[in-house]
Each structure stands twice: as structure tokens, then as C-alpha cells.
Amino acid sequence: MADIPFYIATIVGFVPSFALLYIYWGKLEGLFHEKKMFWNYFIGWIMGVIIAIFFLISKYSVGGYLDLSIIFVIFFALFTESFKFIYLNFPKKRGNYELPYFGFALGLGISAIWAVAIVYQYLKYEQLNEINYVIAIVSLFLFSMGLSAIHASTGAIIGYGIYKGEKERFLLKAFALQIIFNFTLLPLIWNLYPLYYFFGIFIGMPYLYSKVYKGVLINVIPKEVKRKWLKERRERGERL
């Protein structure tokens, strides 16, 4: 018999991640090595498995306690961002202006697998009627979109800090952003209805566009590379 919750969870987890990758890939095509982007996205899947398992196990331990839940969302932010930092801070990666792009793809990969695990766990074990099932899927999709946006953002921020030689400053910024977002995970930890899960999208999506896309992914490009890239886009009649 087909495992319907798994199929739905896969769609809900991966579509937002792929969508953001496709959208920003199109906007920034020609500024990075495509194979390396995909490789970092794949590495994010592996990290996502570890992060999802850790989250789900811890969720059941702290969900019944307000103080432990708050401590956990803070610790969980430090855990996930440190994971990204360790990987992106390998010596052979430093000095490459594409590092924020790799962090961006890494974060999207992490969020995809983590979202699949969260959605599957909920749909598999919760008893819902048809209307609530549809509402849950829509809410979880928005949750997945916000999750993708925030992890792509913090990955890009960490990569940018390492490239600029200001890794401590930007790592702290990633910690702060992820902690703020993680407070929107409290309804999930407390096992409330999914309608309360997706508020993080109002943090992740605006930040991704205004601060990461406009402020990091474009500005990190060396002037000569950016000048040539903009010229080619104008010649093709494309808008930034």
C-alpha cells in the first residue's frame, strides 16, 4: 500500500527548496559553478538528516515544559548554524567569493530534508478529517517555505562572513537570526495545530530577498565579474 503521507511530505519539503533554488539561480545564473552549487545542496541533505533526527528526538523530551522549550530553540539554533560554519570554514573554501552561494545551497538542502521529516511525522501519526488534512498540508507548505528561506539566508550569511574575514561577526548574526526564527517553532514543539506553524515565513522570505539576495549574493561579486555579468544581461534584455 502506498505511503501517502511520505509522498506528500516529500512534495511539501522539496518544492519550496527547489523553487527558491530555481528562482535565485535564474536571477544569478553565470556567477557561480553550477556543479558546486548542486554538490553543496546535496551535502545539505546529509546534514538535514542529522538535524531532523536530533530535532524530533529532542522535541518529545522538552515539549511539555515552557522553560526547556525556550532553551532548546536557542540551543538548536546554535547547533544548526555551527554545523554550517564548520563545513563552510574548511581552509580550501576560504577566499572564494562563491562561498555565500554555497552556504545558500547548503541551507536549502538542510531545510528540504528537515521539512520532509517534520511533515511526514505529523501526517503519519495525527488523526485528521479531510478538511483539517488539507489545512494542515497548506500550513506545512508555508512552514517549509519559511524554513527554506531562513536556512538559505543563514548559510549565505555565514559564507559571506568567512569570505570577508569577519566570520565571528557574521556567525553571531546568523545565530541571532536563527534564534528569532526558532521561536516560531514553539507551536511545533508543543504539538499545536499546523495553522500556527508558518509564521516564520514572515521572517524568512523578506530577509532572504532584501538582506541576502540584494545585500549579499549580489554585493559579494567582484566588480569586474559583476560589470561583465550586468553587461551580458542588459544585452539579452534581462532585468536584475
Least confident of 2-6, 18-22, 44-48: 2-6
- For residues 52 and 220, give the distance between their C-alpha atoms in angstroms, rounded to a whole number: 31
Q: What is the mean pLDDT of residues 38-63?
A: 91
pLDDT tens per residue across span 142-182: 999 999 999 999 999 999 999 999 999 999 999 999 999 99
Distance of CA 70 to the CA centre of its chain: 21
pLDDT in the model for residue 1: 55
Q: Residue 37's pLDDT band (boundaries 50, 70, 90)?
A: confident
Q: What is the mean pLDDT of residues 225-229?
A: 75
pLDDT in the model for residue 95: 76
Q: What is the pTM of this model?
A: 0.91
Give kind and range of the element (H or E) at residue 113: helix 99-125
Q: Which residue has the cell 498540508?
A: 137
CB 123 within 8 A of CB 136: yes
Q: Is the pLDDT of residue 240 over 60?
A: no
Q: Where are the domains of the chain?
A: 4-233
